[in-house]
Chains A and B, each alone.
Chain A
Amino acid sequence: MHKSISILLSLLLTFALLSPLKRDWRGEDGDSFPLSWYPMFSKPRPALERIVYMVGVLPDGTRRVIKSNYFARGPMNQARMHVAKYAQRKKTSDELCKRASEKMSKRTRGSKSRMGQVRLVRGHFSREAYFGAGQELPEKDVVMAACHIMGRKKLKRPRRGTVIQYDHETGMER
């Protein structure tokens, strides 16, 4: 290979790696692969973090978070994005909720064996309260889907869109 070709290729690589600095060259979604502008740390965060997640409700009204590997495939971060996308539509929210409730119905030990209901919710969390004050419950949850777990005690099922707030002293719904 001639050196002039190598210089040209070196310049091309430099140009390609720096190209995401220009807004118009960042791809249709504002980011691309394998050339990225690594936007994740630069954007300011909203006061309340909105996170879609799954919870199981126990007969006494308390709740337990259900890990994403029970109802979503793939690496955790990808599963998180998928769950958020599923929650946008009622049909897919119900499907995901049903999948989680079927998994929970097979559990015979621990708190999961006592859950009566599974809910897909969009939680609104305060970072300061969560890490600063150790308040692990959200400011509020908006229900995306709720399903009964087969063979367990039936609990009152909230409809899609229901807003749930919590008493942070007792950990119970208000």
Chain B
Amino acid sequence: MSRWLAPFDRWWFPAIDPTRLAVIRVLTGVFSLWYLCRRGLWLKPFFRKSADLWDPIGLTTLLAGPLETDVVIGLGYATVITGVMFTIGLWWRVVGPLFGVFLLFSVTYRNSWGMLFHTENTWVIHVLILGFTASADRLAVDPWIRKKFTAPFLGLLGFVSGSTAPHWRYGWPVKMLQLAVALPYVVAAFAKVRGPAGWGWMYGENLRDQVGMNGIWYAMTKGRAEAITYYIYDYDWPWVVMALLTLVVEFGAPLALLHRRIGYAFVAIVLGLHYGIWIVMGIGFKYQVTGAAFVCFLEWERLLGWVESTRARFARWRPDETWAPQPGASS
């Protein structure tokens, strides 16, 4: 590798422990299953929707129209079942990509009825990245199966053998996951300043109008707007502060990829941004506010190592004899 490319190589392809990617896979899988199952069979509301409401987007533009009810049910079950297998790391070379594709298709289908849920973009891209990379080499069923049954065809069938050695193939997907978090913020920031308001967006007028519009919509369909909107609507400074902070965080998001500590700071600030949106607008970006979107910024192998060493220290610990009560000391 050329001397000039070496720093890039060390940054984009760090050799890291497979545990980090595996923890990210498990947490993303748990989030996905919770999100899919929290309203029963999650595609159910679309079984009997009128074809008039069909508004295909992305992948579903390839369809001639809405799917048959049985196909939608099948898609719902297939997504959840492969989601379980994804989370436990079973039959990885087949299930990893399959869950990514099922999720992409079913979430796109769900978004093809007039309302686009931007809250789901990063989640789907993360599952695709994890599904197509070596994220089941640890904390997975596959390596256990390969150890237990030594049949050579298991590898050919798509069961991964796993590894415990640090390698760049575990570091590179983490960088991709971080990139998928950071770049959409940059795109959103450009959309704001390239809109009719230009850099004047930072004065907060657009933001106030948007929050006001959202509040009235909520009041007319859900019965109430967020109480805080009434309190801050007439003041100028909260909107200026929020707009300015939004632009700084969004444009600055790629810096989070440069260093671990900048990444931590970014996660803390951007979580604040999403909680702010939740409180002011009542819009909870589930993948972000649960923290699932940002688990790729944490060094899980270090955290787990610390937990393990603390546990071992407590296991070794014996009460000092001098602490034991002396006979007759209490009398």
> Which A residues contact B (CB, under 8 angstroms)?
1, 3, 6-7, 9-10, 13-14, 17-18, 20-21, 27-29, 31-45, 49, 51, 53, 65, 67-68, 73-83, 85, 92, 123, 125, 127, 130-132, 134, 136
Contact = CB atoms under 8 A, between A and B. Distances in A.
A82 B48 CA distance: 13
Nearest to A6: B172
Interface stretch (B80-88, B155-163, B211-219): B211-219
A173 B176 CA distance: 58
Contacts of B113: 74, 78, 81-82
Given A17-B187, A132-B234, A40 B222 contact: no
A67 B217 CA distance: 11
B75 to A, nearest CB: 16
A27 B206 contact: no
A43 B194 CA distance: 10
Interface string B115-152: 11110111011000100000000000000000000000
A42 B222 contact: no
Contacts of A74: 45-46, 49, 113
Contact of B210 (A6, A45, A65, A67): A45
12 contacts: A6-B169, A17-B179, A17-B180, A17-B187, A37-B188, A37-B191, A41-B207, A49-B213, A65-B219, A76-B221, A78-B113, A80-B221
Contacts of B53: 82, 85
Contact of A65 (B55, B223, B230): B223
Contact of A3 (B58, B122, B168, B191): B168
Nearest to A47: B209
Contacts of B278: none
B197 interface: yes
Interface in B81-109: 104, 107-108
B129 to A, nearest CB: 8
Interface of B: 9, 12-13, 45-46, 48-50, 52-53, 55, 57-58, 61, 104, 107-108, 111, 113-118, 120-122, 124-125, 129, 168-169, 172, 175-176, 179-180, 183-184, 186-188, 190-192, 194-197, 201, 206-207, 209-210, 212-213, 215-223, 225, 229-230, 233-234
A42 B191 contact: yes
Nearest to B250: A38
Contacts of B234: 131-132
A51 B172 CA distance: 47
Contacts, number: 180
Contacts of A37: 187-188, 190-191
A153 B113 CA distance: 37
Given A6-B172, A17-B184, A78-B115, A127 B209 contact: yes
B15 to A, nearest CB: 12
Contact of A42 (B192, B218, B225): B192
A33 B212 contact: no
Contacts of A130: 212, 215-216, 219
Given A38-B187, A78-B113, A45 B221 contact: no
Contacts of A40: 118, 210
Contacts of B116: 31, 33, 36
Contacts of A36: 116, 118, 121, 184, 187
Contacts of B188: 37-38, 41
A65 to B, nearest CB: 6
A42 B13 contact: no
Given A43-B196, A51-B217, 13 more contacts: A6-B169, A34-B108, A34-B121, A37-B190, A41-B191, A42-B192, A44-B197, A45-B206, A65-B220, A74-B45, A74-B49, A83-B221, A131-B230
A54 B121 CA distance: 31
